[in-house]
């Protein structure tokens, strides 16, 4: 585990060693190992490893992550530059950069965040892997440019005010996470996956994409089903094999789902008779069926299976620490299980595999199906209406009154089924945000947000468009973020074979059906795993649990914490309505939504107190939820 960071000062006279607090805030990622480099008004650093420097070229590399194509990259570079090179990750990255310039990123196959300081070309490049496995934040204001693997590191410099980005708060209430390039701190951005930022020494900068996921949906595979399944099988096997450490203990997370069970199967194929462990954590009386399926998988592949059940009394135990490590508010209650899962695994191994991404690339969840997706009886009518708006009404209004035409133009460019899918997967509707947080109402428009994904037009299948949207949002900004931060907090190397870009690109060429039935979810993965897994595991549907953890509301501990929200910072600052909070507390036993609403606000309240109210610390505070809510 490593972390990278850097700062460009306005000039050399304003340099004051801010790389020290910058790197100190990242020490939880890399222990006591750190390194730094200074050139003019620039400081570059990393934790957990050393910088790689080419003195003759005046180029410095900071790198966090792993590459899985070292031999192929070495072969290509040796052939191109006709010079001997070591099989060293950092040396090969810089050789690729020297050889191909910024387009070198297309040749890297792995999970990474990196920074290159090129003194001769007078530029610095920071980049992030295609899927967003490794985090990277940046800030550029007041002639300062700062970047880091974590949000808290940028704040630790004191250059950036701890001011909340309230448009990001509105987005958080909508989705339960902060999407895309937004961050919860004003003027700090996330670098999007598959992008790089180039900062020139004259102060100019630009951001460009080096990978287009949508372009692969335009390529239609003509392979027979037999060839297709054989190719998929080979891709998954190679992905697991490439990530497998030599002669070190490994383990896997087992969730009870098809994705994690499939990874266990391929690990067994790669490791053959070598023993490895599996880890499962569940919420008491909430997901016994998941735990049961995980046990079946462990038995099938002869795994050492370690399990834990979280009782209601433990739900809040480490919540303050969890949110501190996450850097961003995440409303998913599973962050508690993810934390306990990482903690359990860290007692037995340093490397753990998971099935992360299988739902999003194989359409393995029921949220993509007609069972969970509302279908409009008026679909043909809706299409006809849209065509009439584009062809007749909008051109007419553009002549009469352009301000009238704009809303219609926006709606005409919106695919109603894609928009409904996005709305179906929100926590707060726009109407509920207006009730709960009147100051935030209108700051985040879901329809405008959907229009950011202009490449959705390339994707003909509705189901495929939903997968694309999730790979661009929910996958990196909710699921990957929580696992990356919480496994790193426990010094675990987290391996994700399904996030291999070759596999993702190949799957994008498959034509998914327009409408997906429950029996068709993850059909390709099920076909591969049919003979390897018990049908009780392979055919288990993965459904959205609308009342997840609702039964835990009987505990007075949770109700007491929710009551403290009435005097919280969000209410006192006017961001959340006191009346609305009281209404939700009153409806806890009757409303199916009250718990998820209050839980989302609780997470945001704790985050607010850690990242806005308190000075940034290099270690998580040893406070209970009740203690932090009673501060000030």
Q: How far apart are CA 320 and CA 322, in angstroms?
A: 5
Check which CATH number belongs to the domain holding 345 and give it.
Answer: 3.40.50.620
Helices (H), 490-551: 501-508, 523-529, 535-538
Tokens matching residue 15 = 């340099």
Question: pLDDT band at residue 410, thresholds of 50, 70 and 90?
Answer: low
- pLDDT at residue 430, rounded to an integer: 96
- pLDDT at residue 409, rounded to an integer: 47
Instruction: Read off the pLDDT of each residue in 256-278 and give the average, rounded to a whole number.
Output: 96
Is residue 70 included in any domain, yes or no? yes
Q: Are residues 337 and 480 in the same domain?
A: yes
Q: Which domain holds residue 187?
A: 3-211
Alpha carbon separation from 228 to 106, 222, 243 (Å, rounded): 25, 9, 23
Average pLDDT, the chain: 91
Q: Are residues 265 and 312 in the same domain?
A: yes
Q: Are residues 308 and 184 in the same domain?
A: no
In this predicted structure, the answer to whether residue 396 has a pLDDT above a threshold of 90 is: no
Contacts of residue 377, defined as CB under 8 A and 6 or more positions apart, other chains included, come to: none
Q: How far apart are CA 126 and CA 147, in angstroms?
A: 8
* Residue 179: count of CB within 10 angstroms of its CB: 21
Is residue 14 included in any domain, yes or no? yes
Using N-to-C axis directions, what is the helix angle for 335-346 and 481-489, rounded to 10°? 40
In this predicted structure, the answer to whether residue 330 has a pLDDT above a threshold of 60 is: yes
Q: Are residues 430 and 512 in the same domain?
A: no
Token match 């969970």: residue? 372
State the total domains in the chain.
4
Min mean pLDDT across 16-30, 295-309, 379-393, 429-443 is at 379-393
Question: pLDDT band at residue 387, thresholds of 50, 70 and 90?
Answer: low
Q: Are residues 507 and 589 in the same domain?
A: no
Instruction: Read off the pLDDT of each residue in 579-587 and give the average, rounded to a whole number.
Output: 96
Q: How far is CA 575 from the centre of its chain?
A: 26
Partnered with residue 35 across adjacent β-strands are 46
Is residue 199 included in any domain, yes or no? yes
Q: Name the DSSP letter for residue 185.
A: B
Is residue 549 included in any domain, yes or no? no
Domain ends where: 431, 448, 469? Answer: 469
Instruction: Read off the pLDDT of each residue in 552-562 and give the average, rounded to a whole number.
Output: 83
Instruction: Read off the pLDDT of each residue in 411-427 and give the average, rounded to a whole number.
Output: 81
% of the chain beyond a pLDDT of 90: 75
User: Measured on CA atoms in the order 63, 18, 59, 209, is the torsion positive or negative?
Assistant: positive
Is residue 297 included in any domain, yes or no? yes
- pLDDT at residue 400, rounded to an integer: 58
- pLDDT at residue 377, rounded to an integer: 38
Contacts of residue 579, defined as CB under 8 A and 6 or more positions apart, other chains included, come to: none
- pLDDT at residue 519, rounded to an integer: 73
Relative to beta strand 34-39, strand 42-47 is antiparallel
- pLDDT at residue 372, rounded to an integer: 58
Instruction: Read off the pLDDT of each residue in 179-192 and give the average, rounded to a whole number.
Output: 98
Contacts of residue 389, defined as CB under 8 A and 6 or more positions apart, other chains included, come to: 408, 411, 412
Tokens matching residue 145 = 């440019």
Q: How far apart are CA 105 and CA 109, in angstroms?
A: 9
Q: Are residues 194 and 240 in the same domain?
A: no
Is residue 584 included in any domain, yes or no? yes
Q: Are residues 447 and 574 in the same domain?
A: no
- pLDDT at residue 354, rounded to an integer: 98
- pLDDT at residue 405, rounded to an integer: 47
* Residue 351: count of CB within 10 angstroms of its CB: 18
Smallest Cα–Cα separation from 148: which of 22, 332, 311? 22
Q: Are residues 560 and 595 in the same domain?
A: yes
In this predicted structure, the answer to whether residue 553 has a pLDDT above a threshold of 90 is: no
Is residue 546 included in any domain, yes or no? no
Tell me, yes or no, if the pTM score tops 0.95: no
Q: How far apart are CA 322 and CA 333, in angstroms?
A: 11
Is residue 548 included in any domain, yes or no? no
Q: Are residues 353 and 391 in the same domain?
A: no
Across 447-477, b (16+ Cβ under 10 Å) vs e yields eebbeebebbebbebbbbbbbbbbbbbbbbb
- pLDDT at residue 84, rounded to an integer: 82
Q: How far apart are CA 124 and CA 135, in angstroms?
A: 18
Token match 């870009």: residue? 501
Q: How far apart are CA 46 and CA 4, in angstroms?
A: 4
Q: How far apart are CA 166 and CA 403, in angstroms?
A: 27
In this predicted structure, the answer to whether residue 73 has a pLDDT above a threshold of 80 is: yes
Domain ends where: 469, 502, 517? Answer: 469
% of the chain beyond a pLDDT of 70: 92
Q: Are residues 57 and 158 in the same domain?
A: yes
Min mean pLDDT across 92-101, 281-290, 389-398, 618-627 is at 389-398
- pLDDT at residue 514, rounded to an integer: 72
- pLDDT at residue 461, rounded to an integer: 86
Q: Are residues 486 and 403 in the same domain?
A: no
Q: Are residues 461 and 493 in the same domain?
A: no
Domain ends where: 148, 180, 211? Answer: 211
Highest mean pLDDT (candidates 198-202, 244-248, 378-382): 198-202
Question: pLDDT band at residue 385, thresholds of 50, 70 and 90?
Answer: low
- pLDDT at residue 373, rounded to an integer: 57
In this predicted structure, the answer to whether residue 383 has a pLDDT above a threshold of 60 is: no
Check which CATH number belongs to the domain holding 90 and give it.
Answer: 3.60.20.10
User: Higher confidence at residue 391 or residue 466?
Assistant: 466
């Amino acid at each position: 585990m490593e972390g990278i960071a850097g700062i460009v000062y306005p000039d050399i006279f304003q340099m004051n060693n801010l790389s020290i607090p910058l790197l100190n805030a990242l020490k939880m990622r890399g222990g006591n190992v750190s390194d730094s480099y200074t050139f003019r008004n620039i400081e570059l650093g990393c934790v957990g490893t050393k910088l790689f420097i080419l003195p003759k070229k005046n180029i410095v590399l900071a790198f966090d992550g792993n590459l899985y194509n070292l031999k192929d990259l070495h072969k290509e570079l040796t052939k191109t530059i006709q010079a001997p090179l070591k099989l060293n990750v950092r040396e090969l990255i810089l050789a690729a950069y020297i050889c191909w310039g910024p387009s070198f990123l297309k040749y890297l196959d792995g999970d990474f965040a990196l920074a290159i300081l090129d003194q001769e070309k007078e530029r610095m490049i920071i980049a992030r892997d295609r899927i967003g496995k490794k985090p990277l934040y940046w800030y550029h204001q007041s002639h300062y440019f700062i970047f880091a693997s974590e949000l808290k590191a940028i704040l630790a410099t004191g250059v950036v005010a701890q001011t909340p980005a309230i448009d990001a708060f509105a987005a958080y209430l909508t989705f339960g996470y902060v999407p895309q390039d937004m961050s919860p701190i004003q003027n700090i951005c996330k670098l999007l996956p598959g992008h790089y930022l180039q900062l020139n020494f004259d102060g100019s900068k630009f951001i460009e994409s080096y990978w287009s996921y949508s372009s692969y949906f335009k390529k239609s595979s003509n392979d027979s089903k037999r060839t297709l399944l054989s190719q998929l099988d080979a891709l998954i096997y190679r992905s697991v094999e490439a990530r497998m450490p030599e002669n070190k203990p490994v383990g896997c997370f087992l969730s009870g789902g098809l994705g994690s069970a499939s990874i266990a199967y391929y690990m067994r194929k790669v490791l053959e008779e070598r023993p490895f462990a599996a880890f499962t954590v569940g919420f008491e009386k909430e997901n016994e069926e998941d735990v049961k399926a995980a046990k079946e998988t462990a038995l099938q592949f002869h795994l050492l299976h370690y399990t834990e059940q979280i009782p209601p009394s433990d739900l809040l135990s480490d919540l303050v620490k969890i949110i501190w490590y996450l850097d961003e508010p995440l409303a998913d209650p599973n962050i508690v299980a993810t934390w306990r899962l990482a903690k359990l695994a860290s007692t037995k191994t340093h490397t753990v595999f998971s099935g992360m991404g299988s739902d999003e690339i194989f359409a393995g969840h029921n949220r993509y199906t007609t069972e969970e997706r509302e279908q409009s009886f008026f679909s043909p009518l809706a299409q006809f209406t849209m065509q009439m708006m584009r062809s007749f009404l909008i051109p007419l209004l553009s002549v009469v009154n352009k301000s009238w035409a704009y809303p219609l133009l926006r709606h005409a460019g919106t695919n109603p089924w894609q928009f409904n899918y996005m709305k179906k997967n929100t926590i707060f509707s726009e109407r509920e945000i207006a009730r709960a947080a009147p100051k935030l109402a209108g700051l985040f428009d879901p329809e405008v947000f959907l229009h950011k994904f202009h490449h959705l037009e390339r994707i003909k299948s509705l189901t495929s468009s939903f997968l694309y949207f999730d790979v661009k949002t929910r996958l990196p900004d909710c699921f990957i973020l929580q696992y990356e931060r919480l496994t790193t907090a426990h010094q675990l190397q987290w391996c994700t074979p399904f996030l291999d870009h070759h596999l993702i690109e190949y799957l994008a060429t498959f034509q998914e059906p327009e409408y997906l039935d429950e029996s068709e979810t993850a059909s390709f993965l099920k076909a591969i795993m049919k003979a390897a897994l018990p049908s009780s595991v392979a055919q288990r549907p993965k459904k959205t649990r609308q009342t997840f953890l609702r039964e835990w509301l009987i505990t007075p501990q949770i109700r007491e914490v929710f009551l403290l929200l009435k005097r919280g910072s969000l209410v006192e600052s006017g961001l959340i309505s006191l009346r609305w909070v009281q209404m939700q507390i009153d409806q806890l036993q009757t409303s199916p939504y009250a718990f998820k609403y209050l839980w989302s606000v609780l997470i945001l309240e704790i985050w607010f107190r850690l990242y806005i109210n308190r000075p940034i610390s290099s270690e998580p505070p040893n406070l209970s939820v009740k203690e932090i809510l009673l501060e000030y």
